[in-house]
C-alpha cells in the first residue's frame, strides 16, 4: 500500500486545468528550442529533503510522521520504496542522494559502506524497472559529529582519511548506478572562528583532496562531471566554497579548472549577496556551469530557507543563463527544496513538487522565447559594438598605456556616456514572463 495512497500519477492537463494534481505547464514531450522539455530541465527529486527531512528546525524537532523513519536497513528499504513511488507519481527522470539519506550509519566505516552498497543494489533494481536515472550522488560529510570541524580541511588527518574513504565509496556507487555527476558540498569546510584556524593549511588540504577525487574519477572511468556546490556560510560561519568567483580562484590555484564544474543553488547565491542569475552567468562565462539546485530563499530571512520555487520571472532569468551557456549536458535541475515543516501531509509532499515543476516549465519556456526572439542579445551586442572594430581590439590586446594616453591627449578624446536602457530591457523581459 503506497504512502501516497490514491494519488494518481501527475499528468499534463494544460494551463486551464484547475486540478491541483495535474501539471498545467510541464509537458515532458513538448518541444522547446528543438528539444523535449524533459531533456532540457532534467528534473531530479532530492532524496534528502523529500524523504529524509523530518520537519525539524533549530527551535523544534520532528513534525512529520512517515512510516519509513528509522535507523535500520528495513527502514531504509521502506524509504527507498516510498522514494520510487514518489518518482513514479511525479514522472521525473532523475533523483539524487547523499549516502546518509539512503542507508543507516553502521557501527564501523565498513558496515556503513556495506549498507550503502546494499541499498544501491535495490536502487539499481528499481531504476531498471522504472527508468528513473541518477543525476548525482554525494557523501554527507557534515551531519555526523565527526565532521564538526571539517572533512578534507579537518585539523585531524584521520578525519581527512575518513572523508577520502567516504567519497570513494559514494563515487563507486554513483559510478555503478550510472550517475551523471558527482557532487561535493563542503558544509563543514570552513570555520566557526578564525582564532583556531589556519587558512593556508586548510586550503592545501582541500586542494590535495579534490585532486585525489579527480584522479580517482579518471582511474575508474567515471564519465560524469565532478561538481562543487558553492555556499558562503551556514552551518559554518565561513565556508571556503563561498561563491562562484571564489571557487574559480581555488580551482586555478590547484590547476583543476578544467576538471571540475559547479552545482549552483539559488539560496546559496542569495546568501553570498548575489542574484541566482549572476552566479549562473559568471559560471557560464568561466566555463564552469554544471548543474543547478532550484530552490529559493526567503529574501527577508538570513539563512538558507530551501523553499520550492514559486516566482516565474526569477526562474526564467535563471534558465535564460543556462540556455545561453548551451543548456545542461551532464547537469540538470535538482529540487534542493524542502517542504515547510508545517506541511505534514503526503499530498503536501507531492504538490510541492508539482507546483515547482510547473514553475520550472514556465520559466524554461519564457527563457526559450526570449532567446528565440533574440532582442536581449541584439541589444547587448549593440552596446558593445564599439569593441568589434579593429582599432579597439588592437588597443585592448597590443597597445601599452602610454600609447593610448598619448592618443587621448592628441585627439582631445571626450567620450560621452550612452544610456544603459535598463528599464527598457526590463520591460522587454516582462513581455515574456
Question: How many whole angstroms separate alpha carbon 341 and alpha carbon 31?
Answer: 36
Site string for its own copies, 188-227 (x = CB under 8 A): x---xxxxxxxxxx-xxx--x---xx-xx--x--------
Stretch that binds its own copies, among 2-10, 38-46, 130-138, 266-274 (CB under 8 A): 266-274
For the chain, how many residues are written?
433
Burial class (CB in 10 A: 0-12, 13-18, 19+), 158: exposed
Cα 274 from chain centroid? Answer: 15
Out of 12, 27, 49, 101, which one is annotated catalytic? 101
- The stretch near its own copies (CB under 8 A) out of 88-96, 131-139, 327-335, 393-401 is 393-401
Range 56-95, binding its own copies (CB under 8 A):
57-63
Q: Is 240 exposed, middle or buried (0-12, 13-18, 19+ CB in 10 A)?
A: buried
Pick the binder of its own copies from 147, 182, 328, 335 (CB under 8 A): 147
For the CB of residue 390, give the shortest distance to its own copies in the complex, in Å: 11
Give the helix ranges, DSSP H, for 21-145: 37-41, 47, 73-90, 99-102, 109-130
Long-range contact pairs involving 153-160 (C-beta distance under 8 Å, separation at least 24): 153/186, 153/188, 153/189, 153/190, 153/202, 153/203, 153/205, 153/206, 153/240, 154/205, 160/205, 160/209
Residue 58's Cβ-count burial label (10 Å; 0-12, 13-18, 19+) is: exposed
Site for its own copies in 316-335 (CB under 8 A): none
Angle between helices 346-373 and 73-90 (to 10 degrees): 50
Give the nearest distance from C-beta 356 to its own copies in angstroms: 8
Min dist CB 156 to its own copies, Å, is: 5
Site for its own copies contains 45 (CB under 8 A): no
Among 2, 67, 311, 378, binds its own copies (CB under 8 A): 311
Binding flag, residue 303, its own copies (CB under 8 A): yes
Catalytic residue list contains 353: no
Question: In a 3-state reduction of DSSP, which class is residue 97?
Answer: strand
Q: What is the distance between the alpha carbons of residues 285 and 280, in angstroms, rounded to a whole number?
A: 9
Say which residue the cell 528550442 belongs to: 33
Residue 371 touches its own copies, criterion: CB under 8 A:
no
Which residue's CB is nearer to its own copies, number 70 or number 249?
249
Q: Does 242 bind its own copies (CB under 8 A)?
A: yes
* Count of residues touching its own copies (by CB under 8 A): 154
Half-sphere exposure of 430 (CA within 13 A, CB side): 6
- Using CB under 8 A, which of 11, 14, 121, 396 touches its own copies? 396
Residue from 243, 265, 293, 336 that binds its own copies (CB under 8 A)? 243
Q: Which of 7, 312, 366, 367 binds its own copies (CB under 8 A)?
A: 312
Please say if 6 is a catalytic residue: no
Window 7 to 26, contacts with its own copies (CB under 8 A): 18, 20, 24
State which residue, 96 or 360, has the beta carbon closest to its own copies: 360
Residue 42 vs residues 26, 269, 356, 360, 385: alpha-carbon distances, Å: 12, 21, 13, 11, 36
- Min CB(13)–its own copies separation in Å: 12
Residues 90-119 that bind its own copies (CB under 8 A): 108-110, 113
Helix (H), strand (E) at residue 264? strand 260-265
Residue of 98, 175, 274, 353 marked active site: 98
Span interacting with its own copies, options 2-10, 31-39, 130-138, 396-404, rule CB under 8 A: 396-404
| Closest listed residue to residue 163, CA positions, set 268, 95, 155 | 155
Please identify, among the stretches 3-11, 91-99, 242-250, 258-266, the one whose residues bind its own copies according to the rule CB under 8 A. Answer: 242-250
The residues annotated as belonging to the active site are 98, 101
Amino acid at each position: 500500500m503506497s504512502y501516497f495512497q490514491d494519488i494518481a500519477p501527475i499528468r499534463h492537463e494544460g494551463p486551464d486545468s484547475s486540478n491541483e494534481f495535474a501539471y498545467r505547464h510541464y509537458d515532458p514531450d513538448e518541444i522547446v528550442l528543438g528539444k523535449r522539455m524533459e531533456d532540457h530541465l532534467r528534473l531530479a527529486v532530492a532524496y534528502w529533503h523529500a524523504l529524509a527531512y523530518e520537519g525539524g528546525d533549530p527551535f523544534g524537532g520532528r513534525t512529520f510522521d512517515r512510516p519509513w523513519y528509522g535507523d535500520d536497513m528495513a527502514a531504509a528499504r521502506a524509504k527507498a520504496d516510498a522514494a520510487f513511488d514518489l518518482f513514479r507519481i511525479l514522472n521525473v527522470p532523475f533523483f539524487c542522494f547523499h549516502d546518509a539519506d539512503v542507508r543507516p550509519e553502521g557501527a564501523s566505516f565498513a558496515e556503513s559502506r556495506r549498507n550503502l552498497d546494499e541499498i544501491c543494489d535495490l536502487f539499481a533494481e528499481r531504476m531498471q524497472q522504472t527508468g528513473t536515472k541518477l543525476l548525482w550522488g554525494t557523501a554527507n560529510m557534515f551531519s555526523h559529529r565527526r565532521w564538526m570541524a571539517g572533512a578534507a580541511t579537518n585539523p585531524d588527518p584521520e578525519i581527512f582519511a575518513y572523508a577520502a574513504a567516504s567519497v570513494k565509496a559514494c563515487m563507486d556507487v554513483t559510478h555503478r548506478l550510472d550517475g551523471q555527476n558527482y557532487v561535493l558540498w563542503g558544509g563543514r569546510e570552513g570555520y566557526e572562528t578564525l582564532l583556531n584556524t589556519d587558512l593556508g593549511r586548510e586550503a592545501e588540504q582541500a586542494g590535495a583532496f579534490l585532486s585525489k577525487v579527480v584522479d580517482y574519477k579518471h582511474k575508474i572511468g567515471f564519465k560524469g562531471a565532478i561538481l562543487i556546490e558553492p555556499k558562503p556560510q551556514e552551518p559554518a560561519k565561513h565556508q571556503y566554497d563561498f561563491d562562484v568567483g571564489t571557487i574559480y580562484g581555488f580551482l586555478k590555484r590547484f590547476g583543476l579548472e578544467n576538471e571540475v564544474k559547479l552545482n549552483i543553488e539559488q539560496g546559496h547565491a542569495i546568501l553570498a549577496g548575489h542574484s541566482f542569475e549572476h552566479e549562473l552567468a559568471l559560471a557560464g562565462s568561466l566555463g564552469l556551469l554544471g548543474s543547478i539546485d532550484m530552490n529559493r530563499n526567503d529574501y527577508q530571512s538570513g539563512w538558507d530557507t530551501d523553499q520550492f520555487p514559486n516566482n516565474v520571472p526569477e526562474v526564467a532569468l535563471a534558465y535564460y543563463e543556462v540556455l545561453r551557456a548551451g543548456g545542461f549536458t551532464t547537469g540538470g535541475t535538482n529540487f534542493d527544496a524542502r517542504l515547510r515543516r508545517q506541511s505534514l501531509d503526503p499530498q503536501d509532499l507531492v504538490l510541492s513538487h508539482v507546483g515547482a515543476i510547473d514553475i520550472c516549465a514556465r520559466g524554461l519556456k519564457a527563457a526559450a522565447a526570449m532567446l528565440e526572439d533574440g532582442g536581449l542579445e541584439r541589444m547587448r551586442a549593440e552596446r558593445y559594438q564599439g569593441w568589434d572594430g579593429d582599432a579597439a581590439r588592437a588597443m585592448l590586446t597590443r597597445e601599452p598605456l602610454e600609447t593610448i594616453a598619448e592618443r587621448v591627449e592628441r585627439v582631445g578624446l571626450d567620450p560621452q556616456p550612452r544610456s544603459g536602457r535598463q528599464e527598457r530591457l526590463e520591460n522587454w523581459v516582462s513581455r515574456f514572463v
